[in-house]
Structure 1
Amino acid sequence: MEQRCSFSLVCFFLFLIPPATVTPAEATPFIDLINSTCTQCAQSSAVFNYDFCVTSLQPIPITHAANLEGIAVVAVELALQNATATVSTIQEMLAGAAAFDPFAVGCLRDCLELYADAIVMLVDSFWEFFTRRFSTANILLSAVMETASTCEEGFKEKEVEMAAAPPLTEENENLFRLSEIALCITKLVSGGEEVMRKFS
């Protein structure tokens, strides 16, 4: 199933690229690019999840990301989709706050603010990447990863007071990992440009 464009980030990116017809022969290099990219990222970090990287990126239609920069844009889009969906999830949880103890409700409210900030940072990181300000994009993506960790840690501060396991563990983990993918690819793109400048 094709990924939809929330906030039109990918749609905007694709608008700048002439449409292309993709042949089956072209699909293999694209899959190889994803595998090699995820491998490089996994080799650079002990916590990077190669399998999550591959399964997240492979469903992307090839016409949406035919090169490393395109994959970076879509990685940000996937993180943005996750953050946006999680905001809706938290709002639904707060609407049924009676199902949670007061401590959990407080954590959910904190996480709602954190995720709202994450959405803004992800949108900003896209524009920083698009305008080649990679260092700022890296800072923003790192901050989004920290946002996911902060939300999760908030529930664990007084875990004994909670009636159940933290309700956003999966969402937090997904946002952390998707942002980590975007961060790694952004570093690969910026590193490649630096190499090109040295040999130009």
Structure 2
Amino acid sequence: MRHWHVSFLSFCCFFMFLFFILFLLTPYDEISATRTWSFDLINKTCKTCSDKSIVFDYTFCFLSLQEVPVSHMTTLQGLGIVAMEVALQDATRTLSVVRGLLRNDSSACLRDCDLIYFDGVVTLVDSVGAFLEGRYGDAGAWVTAVMDGTSTCEEGFRDMDEVSPLTERNYSVFQLCDVALCIMKLLNSDALSF
């Protein structure tokens, strides 16, 4: 089963690589026109999502999506994939950080966060697969579970009166998942005309 997750993760990376190659092969004048359209799409998506939620961070959404080259020439579905891929990368990096911290500190909070992020990475891989198949309900439920996990990780330190070394990372993964979740909701509604 784990082998399948690694293979699927490789497939997702290859998918992003293909989009990046297409971006590089597009003539400059087409890129300029596409970027204008895509920045409008990113702006409109982030604005709509931030209007719907008090915890959604417009600036974080816009900067995170526009940083990825493929987002400059994609659709709403493509932005959803970008958000999920960036969330997956962030969660994977956070798992690595947690394991690094565990070498010097075996606190219960860090051990809990290790399990949470291990499960979160696997869940995000599954979510990307469901999203690509158009199963937005499943993908949304799994992304929500990852968001809950980041909150649980952070609350564990608070409950033990410890300073969390993962606050910024938990926030980042939470917000990226929130972007992906909002896009899934938009894809299932007529909230935006793209």
**Normalised by the shorter chain, which TM-score bucket?**
0.7 to 0.9
1:92 to 1:49, Cα distance in 2 relative to 1, 3 A? same
**Other-structure match for 1:181:** 179
Equivalent residue in structure 1 for 2:91, among 77, 80, 83: 83
Structure 1: unaligned runs, 5 residues or longer: 1-5, 196-200
Q: Percent identity?
A: 41
SS of 2:55's partner is coil
State the 1:38 CA deviation: 0.0
TM-score for both structures, normalised by structure 2: 0.84
Counterpart code for 1:166: S
The answer to whether the 8 A contact 1:10-1:64 is kept is: no
Equivalent residue in structure 2 for 1:116, among 118, 137, 149: 118
**Other-structure match for 2:55:** 47
State the 1:191 CA deviation: 2.0
> Structure 1, residues 79-110: CA drift from partner, whole Å, max 9, x if none?
0011100111011111112xxxx6xx110000
1:166 to 1:92, Cα distance in 2 relative to 1, 3 A? same
1:9 partnered with 2:12: yes
Structure 2: unaligned runs, 5 residues or longer: 1-8
Structure 1 distance, partners of 2:63, 2:125, is 23
Counterpart code for 2:35: A
State the 1:15 CA deviation: 4.5
1:65 to 1:154, Cα distance in 2 relative to 1, 3 A? farther
Alignment of 1:1-200 (within 5 A): 7-12=10-15, 15=18, 19=22, 21=26, 22-62=30-70, 65-97=73-105, 105-159=107-161, 162=162, 165-192=163-190
Structure 2 distance, partners of 1:188, 1:89, is 33
Structure 2 distance, partners of 1:18, 1:60, is 13
Alpha-carbon RMSD across the aligned residues, in angstroms, is: 2.4
TM-score for both structures, normalised by structure 1: 0.82
Q: Tell which structure's C-alpha radius of gyration is larger.
A: 1
Query: How many pairs does the alignment contain?
Result: 179
